[in-house]
Chain A
């Protein structure tokens, strides 16, 4: 083996080990965070937590039932806004658009992504709260939906682009129209990636507090319908975490754990339901 080859092999082994180290570091940080959450939050999770309304200071036995339902409602609304715009917009960018339009749209999406969540909250406030003179779950969902758009859009576009041209050409050769190609060939091929994109966007907005302060506002009671202020898990976590009370601190950690579990469940369910019948081999 000549020295150059030996060197290249060494570099190869070294760099690949380094990537392993990177993965190890990233994953251990993750497990540290999860472990901390489970440790601090696990002890405070009880049946009460899931079924009772918040209790005032000094009283034990309170829970976050309304916040859990509230978060669910807000996420549903956010998905209704963020997913279609992100998904269909990405299809436009990847399949139909020309250079300049695509550039402008991508740029706008990146800009939107960089807006601090509290500024999105203010924007949603002036659009969805002020004209109606009251806070609502709808405005909260709107704010969160806005935040979902750029992540969904950019990531989905990347995954659509990553489908090899051969797929498109084959479909066209068989006489399929463009939209049929997209719907039956390209999207299914980029499917895992698109799902990842959507779930990532979902995860991001599930934990946001700032946009909700001026839109969903928070509620210590049950929120009725879509037009009333509603509690949400991240917002409760924020309030309880900066409070002076130990009991509330423990509830804040518990809420963080529950939020994470919620996202986990959504992840699992989404992947399970939607991946049935899609058999795209990993390349």
Chain B
């Protein structure tokens, strides 16, 4: 009688307000356990993988310790191994690829979700999904046959001419190098960004857009200031997917990066990435130290991914507004 104004808010069946048995009988607890097992297996597999890498790199870990991270020499004959040039190359190419792919991808996703008529959008999406299926070897070959000559003959000279005062665009231009690898990677990761972002944008309820428009926003404002933030979580998720692919890509990168373990500020310079050197040298590595050093590089990549992901999440938390819809990457 007393609580006419307070409707007991049902926090849902998970609030523990029902007894365990009742949850069990209704199948919820079983569902929870089963799905938990599947989800936990992911963590299990990842831990197992790290353990495998850890064990497999025992020799160089004991021999080099932390110096592995600071040295730049990679000499399989005289048994000197240092990870620095590969870490550098991995970071640079991933950054370049995201700098290109993220704006292009989100822009294209917005276009496909908001502006394009449904049939056009669906058809184009279909083909863009196909891009994700192109084998990385073929991307590598296309890189070699199309992108590298293009870079050497047109793009790099133009950049050198116009922006050559920046150390980024100096030095001899061979066509291969950090910039080319970044561009090829960008092409490879764009489908993930477009595909996932478009779907998430499409699922934003219509009333959100209508509310914005009814308040006098222009089409762009409604999209950029209302719809996109609503879909923020999914879009960020797609960027994580893209980042992961860019960090771990092997075949295509090794065909266009020049494969020189050297650190250079210029984007035209030839470099190397962790995944590329593993792909190149692992199958032929004859000495144990060489083989295990490559495995240790795999571990280093793991660490890099770990830190990059952490950094990205921190950034998200720091810049997120409270209550920004589905925002949780």
- Determine the residue in chain B with the shortest Cβ distance to A16: B220
* Bound-state Cα–Cα, A23 to B103, Å: 11
Contact B35 A283, beta carbon cutoff 8 Å: no
Cα separation A260 to B141 with both chains bound (whole Å): 15
Contact present for B133 and A259 (CB under 8 Å): yes
Interface size class of A (residues with CB under 8 A): 35 or more
For A8, the chain B residues whose CB sits under 8 A away are: 218, 221
Give the distance in Å from the alpha carbon of A204 to the alpha carbon of B35 in the complex. 24
Interface pair A114/B248, CB less than 8 Å apart: yes
- Taken residue by residue from 112 to 127, chain B's Cβ proximity to chain A (1 for < 8 Å, 0 otherwise) reads as 1011101000001011
Contact B31 A178 (CB under 8 A): yes
Q: Point out the residue from B13, B196, B238 that lies within 8 Å of A177, measured CB to CB.
A: B13
Taking a contact as CB atoms under 8 Å apart, the answer to whether B38 and A182 are in contact is no
Query: Chain A, 1-31, contact with B by CB distance < 8 Å: what is the 0/1 string?
Result: 0000000110111011011111101110111
Residue B14 contacts which of A114, A178, A234 (CB distance < 8 angstroms)? A178
Contact assessment for A178 and B28 in the assembled complex, using a CB-CB cutoff below 8 Å: yes
Across the interface, which residues of B come within 8 angstroms of A159, CB to CB? 199-200, 203, 234
Q: What CA separation (Å) do A15 and B111 show in the bound complex? A: 10
Q: Is the CB of B32 within 8 A of A92?
A: yes
Which bucket holds chain B's interface residue count?
35 or more
- Is there an interface contact between A161 and B233, defined as CB atoms closer than 8 Å? yes
Count of A-B contacts judged by CB separation below 8 Å: 332
Interface members, chain B 187-215 (any A CB < 8 Å): 187, 190-192, 194-196, 199-200, 202-206
Residues of the B chain whose Cβ atoms lie less than 8 Å from the Cβ of A203: 129-130, 132-133
Contacts of B219 in A (CB 8 A): 12, 16
Measured between beta carbons, the chain A residues less than 8 angstroms from B36 are 92, 96-97
- Does B128 reach chain A (CB closer than 8 Å)? yes
Cβ–Cβ < 8 Å partners of A210 in chain B? 250-251, 279
The answer to whether A68 has its CB under 8 Å from any CB of chain B is: no
**Chain B residues with CB under 8 A of A264:** 130, 133
Measured in the bound complex, the distance between the Cα atoms of B251 and A252 in whole Å is: 15
In the complex, chain A residues whose CB is within 8 Å of the CB of B116: 23
Judge whether A85 and B42 touch: CB under 8 Å.
Answer: yes
**Interface residue? B46 (CB, 8 A):** yes
Residues in chain B within 8 A of chain A (CB atoms): 10, 12-14, 26-28, 30-32, 34-36, 38-43, 45-49, 52-53, 56, 103-108, 110-112, 114-116, 118, 124, 126-138, 141-142, 145-146, 187, 190-192, 194-196, 199-200, 202-206, 218-221, 223-224, 231, 233-234, 237-238, 240-241, 243-245, 247-251, 274-275, 278-279, 282-283, 295, 298, 301-302, 305-306, 309-310, 326, 328-329
Q: List 20 A-B contacts (CB under 8 A).
A: A12-B220, A23-B112, A27-B108, A36-B145, A88-B35, A96-B32, A115-B301, A116-B278, A117-B248, A150-B42, A155-B241, A158-B234, A162-B200, A204-B245, A207-B133, A207-B138, A209-B136, A241-B141, A260-B133, A283-B202
